[in-house]
């Protein structure tokens, strides 16, 4: 049973389908692992054991009857604390929301249930999801799988740790500026940021609704495709046809390589070479639209975040970790006219970017220019926290600002990833599957 904890969600689903794994036994294996892990309290806010056992028993009945709901029916996963789960506190990592108990599941949680996925519980995160580092001294700060003294990446910190430490088969996080992809890359996972609006935000605690997206953190591209379908209530994408032979991949230069550390740069360059060896045509390119869009981030993100949470922060903001509260308060002085003008400009830049990359099948770049910093160093120096947070999000937020879907893949170098981004999830998943094969 121990090997079950490290298998991909897809592999577990297949073995449930053949009768080799019983969903009840699988769920008990994860619940036992959580109960016996000294790290579990730093990863899980709530373990929903009763619900998990009930859902696993129903999945087992369907498996015996030959009436499984999906390829992942009976597979146990975790949920970031900002997803509503009926009768279970949902605080989005904030002490200000303590005691907030929703009456029904978020829409994506409902969809996952209709696909037969088993809910193990809710995972820790950055306060109100507004940091890419995963440090939360108000609740818990999950560790990185590659460095026990380092942060796991945020804001879906516990989501990544639950998978990386064998306490869930996959996890569902959210991504507003990189919150699925940063913890995925730092914990050597696959992370998918969906296009804004594709997956429902009903029953999801907001940060910046115009940027917020739902996405999985998992072990394989096939997992990501199946989880996307489950969250949407749709059929999985066909990933079988794409080949890297002759594929044109653009390397986004300038902005994406600013302040990059040696290890992420070398890992990316090695990965790009392996893609070339597999037949891809890899071409560096530059476009000013990216730096112009990045310059709008300090206006658009904090203005909407503060506008969303202004009343609560003004009343109870002293309950927050100082550097995270400071990020929200940056939005306090941004004029409405600047926010509206910023969005008008961003919409034009999005079209300019699409025009600039239309000849490429996809664009690749380092997932993160830095590796995870030490927790204590972040706690000791607020300025260091702020600088590292901006660096962590430097590359991922490009996709959020430009309205793209993006996928991060492990490179084989700990906490170093390669990101591929484009306009449609189906295209990026197919390209990513071919890249995964070339990089494995």
Following DSSP, what letter does each residue of 57-115 receive, concatenated? HHHHHHHHHT--SSTTTT-EEEEETTB-BTTB---TT-GGGTT---SS--HHHHHHHHT
Rounded to the nearest angstrom, the gap between the alpha carbon of residue 149 and the centroid of all alpha carbons in its chain is 21
CA–CA gap between residue 376 and residue 367 (Å, rounded): 24
Question: Token pair of 246, please?
Answer: 């002759």
Question: Token pair of 429, please?
Answer: 């998943």
CA–CA gap between residue 413 and residue 399 (Å, rounded): 23
Q: What number of residues does the chain have?
A: 440
Quick check: is 179 catalytic? yes
CA–CA gap between residue 210 and residue 176 (Å, rounded): 9
Instruction: Look at phi and psi of residue 169 and say left if phi exceeds 0, alpha if psi is from -120 to 50, else beta.
Output: alpha
Q: How far is CA 185 from CA 145, 299, 303, 407, in A?
A: 11, 27, 28, 10
Quick check: is 155 catalytic? yes
- Set 80, 107, 122, 433: catalytic member: 80
312's enclosing H/E stretch is helix 288-316
**Nearest Cα to 242, choosing from 434, 1, 45?**
434
CA–CA gap between residue 151 and residue 164 (Å, rounded): 13
Quick check: is 103 catalytic? no
24's enclosing H/E stretch is helix 23-36
- Set 8, 70, 155, 367: catalytic member: 155
CA–CA gap between residue 249 and residue 285 (Å, rounded): 10
Alpha-carbon torsion, ordered 185, 154, 407, 117, to 10 deg: 100
Question: Token pair of 225, please?
Answer: 């495709």
Question: What contacts 74, CB < 8 A, 6 or more positions away?
Answer: 12, 13, 16, 21, 23, 26, 27, 56, 59, 60, 62, 63, 68, 116, 118
CA–CA gap between residue 282 and residue 275 (Å, rounded): 8
Phi, psi of 126 (to 5 degrees): -65, 150
Rounded to the nearest angstrom, the gap between the alpha carbon of residue 343 and the centroid of all alpha carbons in its chain is 24
- Set 179, 184, 367, 368: catalytic member: 179
* Catalytic residue set: 80, 155, 179
């Amino acid at each position: 049973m121990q090997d079950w904890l490290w298998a991909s969600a897809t592999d577990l689903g297949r073995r449930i389908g053949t009768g080799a794994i019983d969903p009840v036994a699988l769920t008990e294996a994860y619940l036992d692992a959580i109960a016996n892990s000294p790290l579990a309290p730093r990863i899980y806010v709530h373990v929903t054991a009763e619900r998990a056992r009930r859902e696993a028993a129903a999945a087992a009945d369907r498996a015996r009857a030959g009436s499984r709901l999906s390829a992942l029916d009976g597979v146990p996963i975790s949920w970031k604390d900002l997803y509503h789960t009926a009768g279970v506190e949902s605080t989005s990592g904030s002490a200000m929301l303590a005691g907030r108990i929703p009456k029904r599941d978020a829409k994506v949680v409902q969809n996952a249930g209709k696909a037969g996925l088993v809910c193990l519980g809710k995972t820790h995160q950055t306060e109100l999801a507004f940091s890419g580092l995963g440090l939360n001294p108000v609740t818990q700060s999950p560790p990185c799988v590659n460095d026990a003294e380092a942060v796991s990446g945020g804001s879906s910190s516990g989501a990544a740790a639950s998978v990386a430490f064998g306490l869930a088969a996959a996890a569902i996080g959210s991504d507003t500026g990189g919150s699925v992809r940063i913890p995925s890359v730092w914990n050597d996972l696959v992370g998918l940021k969906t296009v804004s609006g594709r997956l429902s935000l009903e029953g999801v605690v907001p940060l910046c609704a115009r940027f917020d997206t739902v996405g999985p953190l998992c072990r394989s591209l096939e997992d990501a495709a199946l989880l996307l379908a489950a969250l949407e209530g749709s059929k999985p994408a066909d990933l079988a046809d794409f080949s890297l032979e002759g594929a044109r991949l653009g390397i986004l230069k300038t902005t994406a390589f600013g302040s990059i550390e040696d290890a992420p740069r070398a890992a990316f360059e090695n990965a790009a070479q392996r893609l070339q060896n597999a037949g891809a045509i890899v071409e560096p390119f530059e476009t000013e639209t990216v730096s112009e869009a990045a310059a709008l981030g300090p206006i658009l993100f904090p203005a909407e975040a503060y506008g969303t949470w202004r009343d609560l922060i003004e009343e109870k903001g002293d309950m927050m970790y100082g550097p995270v509260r400071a990020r929200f308060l940056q939005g306090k002085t941004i004029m409405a006219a600047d926010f509206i003008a910023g969005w008008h400009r961003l919409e034009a830049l999005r079209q300019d970017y699409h025009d600039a990359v239309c000849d490429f099948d996809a664009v690749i770049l380092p997932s993160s220019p830095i590796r995870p910093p030490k927790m204590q160093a972040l706690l000791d120096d607020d300025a260091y926290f702020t600088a590292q947070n901006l660096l962590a999000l430097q590359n991922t937020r490009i996709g959020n600002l430009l309205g793209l879907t993006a996928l991060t893949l492990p490179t084989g170098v700990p906490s170093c990833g390669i990101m591929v981004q484009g306009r449609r999830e189906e295209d990026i998943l197919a390209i990513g599957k071919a890249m995964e094969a070339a990089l494995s």
